[in-house]
Amino acid sequence: MTFDLLLRNCRAVDVTGVQECDVAIEDGRIAKLARNAEDQADRVIDCRGMLVFPGAIDGHVHFEMDYGPGIRTADDFRTGTESAACGGVTTVIDFVTPRRGQSLIEAFEERLGAAQAKAVVDFGLHVCVLEVNGQRLSELRHLVSERGVASVKVFTAYRARGLMIDDGSLVRLARELAAMDVLMLCHCENEDMIAKATEELVFEGRTGIEHYESSRPDFAEAEAVNRIGFVSSLTGVEFLVVHISSAAALSSLRALKRSGVRARGETCPHYLLFTKDLYATDRGPLYVMAPPLRTEVDRRSLWQGIADGAIDVVGSDHAPYLAVHKSRSKDFREVPGGVQGTEVIVPVLFSEGVRKGIIGLERFVELTSHNPARLYGLSHRKGRIAVGWDADLVVLDPSKRVRLGKEVLHSALDHSIYEGIEVTGYPVITISRGEVVAENGQVLGRPGRGQYLHRSRKRAEPVQLR
């Protein structure tokens, strides 16, 4: 038989283990897994010496996100998904953030249109809920049932930016989400603790970037995790704490998991690599994000969570701003928060996790594709190397050494926070639904080929993560 694409001599890694096989692809799906297949194909790729993984799913990106007048994240849906593709990411999930008073449906359709015109890889959309009332809940039900939304985001901070919802609204929303089996993503920081810490720093004249971490203390993060956990215990909603930065927040998450609460956790590459010491350097503003970088103890704690299953997924929180915007003020209150990351999830986790013996290959797949697929309602087609699943694959050269400088990465950003970081093990081919969209650092996928993904956790396997 002649297939569209045939990967020969693969070491294919799935959560079930590693198998030596050829992978045949037809009509965008995996059609056959066999040893020494005698089939032909329009294109044959020899993967000898490589590792083949399911394409990564980055469930946390912010493309074309406005921060304020004249300030927007550097990547749009084209450059952002090109960057993702070159890093072995074949699915991204961005956010619908309505304006105050705007219909969720209208905001969703606007965001969908922006993404469909430019995306190089497949994408989904979380919906940020900023107000909870009968009208908004009705709109949300429509998006879940008719538009394939399977996840919602809430904020326990950013009152001044209009993103935070009050605790009463949080409980009402959580009950609704639990009834629909919709995942609740949570930005967990205590707004009032942040406000008071910032007020004290301002009074003392300590508003330089070197004091930024103190303005958003780890206990503010941990308290919000505990609060969301309590809401989950009342309502039964499953929630994901995004961008965990501290040992304190991770400890709270561990306790909630032990108690039987449906709690999940995400961390990001920057928290696994860097510490708050960078805030005292000339490049400090480039590393401002929320929550902030923490201590070496926190960094090591997060790697322990990666190793033992306390952390369920790794996402990028990709929201980079140009250096001129990041460096516009020496006052931490004026610096837009956000950094790059979607292109480095795979190489950082492989180089620093797998090669250093912290995690095995199967755990790598859990963190980058299998667990995200199950949590986000995509496990019926993404996150596995199996017959019938989408042919979303990344071919990784385990010995390739790359420095993660600006000249290597494909973001439209004018700098790299990973400058000077060298990784061993790098994606060389990325395949999205059977099409090679990136090869040896070259983008081959055309803008607009990425498909919007209708997601549903109801038709997925029960989520049984560690």
pLDDT single digits (tens) 282-323: 999 999 999 999 999 999 999 999 999 999 999 999 999 999
**Which residue has tokens 């989520």?**
463
Tally: H helices and E strands in the chain: 14, 19
- Identity of the amino acid at 121: V
Q: What average pLDDT does range 15-33 have in this prediction?
A: 97
Residue among 385, 304, 336 at smallest CA distance from 51 = 385
Q: What average pLDDT does range 58-75 have in this prediction?
A: 96
Rounded Cα gap, residues 56 and 269, in angstroms:
14
Rounded Cα gap, residues 105 and 108, in angstroms:
5
Question: Rg of the Cα trace of the chain?
Answer: 21
What pLDDT was estimated at residue 463?
A: 43
What pLDDT was estimated at residue 221?
A: 98
Q: What average pLDDT does range 324-349 have in this prediction?
A: 97
User: Over the stretch 351-374, which tens digit does the pLDDT of each residue have?
Assistant: 999 999 999 999 999 999 999 999
What pLDDT was estimated at residue 459?
A: 52
What pLDDT was estimated at residue 94?
A: 98
Overall residue count recorded for the chain in this entry: 466
240-263 b/e (C-beta count within 10 Å ≥ 16 → b): bbbbbbbbbbbbbbbebbeeebbb
What pLDDT was estimated at residue 123?
A: 98
Q: How confident is the model at residue 1 (pLDDT cuts 50, 70, 90)?
A: confident
User: CATH for 55-375?
Assistant: 3.20.20.140
User: Over the stretch 111-163, which tens digit does the pLDDT of each residue have?
Assistant: 999 999 999 999 999 999 999 999 999 999 999 999 999 999 999 999 999 99
Residue among 329, 343, 347 at smallest CA distance from 413 = 343
**Contact 187/315 with Cβ under 8 angstroms?**
no
69-79 b/e (C-beta count within 10 Å ≥ 16 → b): eeebbbbbbbb
**Assessment of whether the complete model's pTM goes beyond 0.85:** yes
Name the H helices within 69-190. 77-86, 104-116, 134-147, 167-180
For residue 6, pLDDT beyond 50? yes
Alpha-carbon 380 to chain mean position = 19
User: Over the stretch 74-110, which tens digit does the pLDDT of each residue have?
Assistant: 999 999 999 999 999 999 999 999 998 999 999 999 9
Domain ranges of the chain: 55-375
What pLDDT was estimated at residue 464?
A: 45
